């Protein structure tokens, strides 16, 4: 008898991250993982570096100062915050704590892949609700809620589609859910959103017992390497997360960098302004080539190719040969699409040009 994991574990397809290397190319433009092209705040880097003499000390297991800083910055209650090693960890902990074999975890068809992966890892059943126009569909989601549903995940805005649910739609979804279902609003890209009808997820958390908001330091704060995220939830859910998380799940260096990052509002504002400008510029430039550009509220944009899957594959390969790394979307059920992160000005100009050439090549 050999050692065996629990049933279902070997059916889990490991998450495949964006590519970071392009063999043979003399430059690499990394636009496959929705990272901040401006990098982190200089103050966050300094705070991280200042931790180097204390590496023999355990971190503050309660991330007290970080939680207080986040709370002060966003007018939230520190006691309702739990920090995690990236929001990925918090997604996994929520699923493990609230769902198991026989339970269902509901998400939107083209939602973030960690939702079905985490569900399967916990032995629960992921259930995908169809979308309308690459946007989460509230009626479609509600129609798939059963007695077994334990969690509903909504990335708002969603990765990879870039679409979002408005405040009224998200509230309608919440209203339609039975009390035993936990609504997880994954707001990884919240800081980038400029639309006035974007929901105040924190207020929804405070007004209910079954809503959790997730946030990350990997996107606007440019700290993806440090693995830092946080959850804002009802006291009972926070209590559960504190029981199931590791006692020192967030490193002290990540906590220190996170505190400085939150306080550097200028860096956040610069990152938002950069993104708004180049998202609009790039979307316009690419739309002129005949590629369909889906509207995005995040720091990335989804492109749909009129020539279908074959064209998307050809463009992915052609851009990679030039050292431009985009994200293929086969795993998201969108094989005729590619996702492009908004990078630096040079990145976006080079990518728009490469896409134009690749499309012209295809019609020749
Ligand atoms: C919607 C969404 N949620 C969560 C994450 C995970 O972020 P983290 O780096 O905090 O684990 C991502 C990362 O791409 C994401 O797109």
What would the pLDDT profile of 124-171 be if each residue is shown by its tens digit? 999 999 999 999 999 999 999 999 999 999 999 999 999 999 999 999
- As a whole number of Å, the CA-based R_g of the chain is 21
pLDDT tens readout for residues 268-291 = 999 999 999 999 999 999 999 999
Nearest residue CA, atom 12 of ligand 1?
A: 188
DSSP result, 38-80: T-S-HHHHHHHHGGGGGTTSPP-TT-HHHHHHHHHHHT--GGG
Q: How confident is the model at residue 363 (pLDDT cuts 50, 70, 90)?
A: low
Return the pLDDT at 88: 97
What does the alpha-carbon distance between residue 226 and residue 229 come to, in Å, rounded to a whole number? 10
Task: Report the interhelical angle of 345-363 vs 265-287 (nearest 10°).
Answer: 20
pTM: 0.96
Q: Which residue has 């909504």 as its token pair?
A: 154
pLDDT tens readout for residues 90-135 = 999 999 999 999 999 999 999 999 999 999 999 999 999 999 999 9
Q: What tokens appear for 244 in the block?
A: 């199931």
Instruction: Work out the percent of the chain whose per-residue pLDDT is above 70.
Output: 99
- Asked whether 325 and 29 are in contact (CB, 8 A), the reply is yes
3-state secondary structure (DSSP) of residue 250: coil
Beta bridge partners of 267: none
Asked if residue 80 has pLDDT above 90, the reply is yes
Is residue 186 within 6 Å of ligand 1 at its C-beta?
yes
Ligand 1 centroid to residue 113 C-alpha, Å: 10
- Asked whether 65 and 252 are in contact (CB, 8 A), the reply is no
Is residue 104 within 6 Å of ligand 1 at its C-beta?
no
Return the pLDDT at 11: 87
């Amino acid at each position: 008898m050999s050692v065996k994991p629990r049933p279902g574990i070997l059916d889990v397809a490991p998450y495949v991250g964006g590519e970071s290397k392009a063999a043979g190319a003399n430059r690499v433009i990394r636009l496959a993982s929705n990272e901040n092209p401006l990098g982190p705040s200089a103050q966050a880097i300094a705070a991280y570096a200042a931790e180097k003499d204390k590496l023999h000390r355990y971190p503050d297991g309660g991330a007290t100062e970080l939680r207080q800083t986040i709370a002060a910055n966003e007018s939230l209650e520190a006691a309702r915050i739990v920090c995690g090693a990236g929001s990925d960890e918090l997604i996994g902990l929520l699923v493990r704590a609230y769902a198991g074999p026989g339970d269902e975890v509901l998400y939107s068809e083209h939602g973030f892949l960690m939702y079905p992966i985490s569900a399967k890892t916990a032995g629960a059943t992921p259930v995908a609700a169809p979308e309308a126009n690459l946007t989460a569909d509230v009626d479609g989601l509600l129609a798939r809620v059963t007695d077994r549903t334990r969690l509903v995940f909504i990335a708002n805005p969603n990765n990879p589609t870039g679409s979002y649910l408005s405040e009224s739609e998200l509230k309608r979804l919440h209203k339609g859910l039975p009390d035993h279902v936990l609504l997880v609003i994954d707001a990884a890209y919240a800081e980038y959103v400029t639309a006035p009808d974007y929901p105040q997820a924190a207020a929804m958390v405070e007004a209910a017992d079954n809503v959790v908001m997730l946030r990350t330091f990997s996107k606007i704060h440019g700290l993806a390497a440090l693995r830092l995220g946080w959850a804002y939830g009802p006291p009972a859910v926070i209590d559960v997360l504190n029981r199931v998380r590791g006692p020192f799940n967030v490193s002290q260096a990540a906590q220190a960098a996170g505190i400085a990052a939150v306080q550097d509002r200028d860096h956040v504002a610069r990152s938002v302004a950069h993104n708004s400008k180049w998202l609009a510029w790039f979307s316009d430039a690419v739309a002129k080539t005949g590629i369909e550009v889906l509207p995005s509220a995040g720091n990335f944009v989804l492109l749909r190719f009129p020539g279908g899957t074959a064209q998307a594959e050809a463009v992915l390969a052609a851009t990679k040969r030039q050292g431009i790394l985009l994200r293929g979307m086969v795993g998201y059920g969108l094989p005729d699409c590619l996702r492009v992160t908004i990078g630096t000005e040079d990145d976006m100009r080079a990518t728009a040009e490469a896409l134009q050439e690749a499309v012209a090549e295809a019609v020749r």
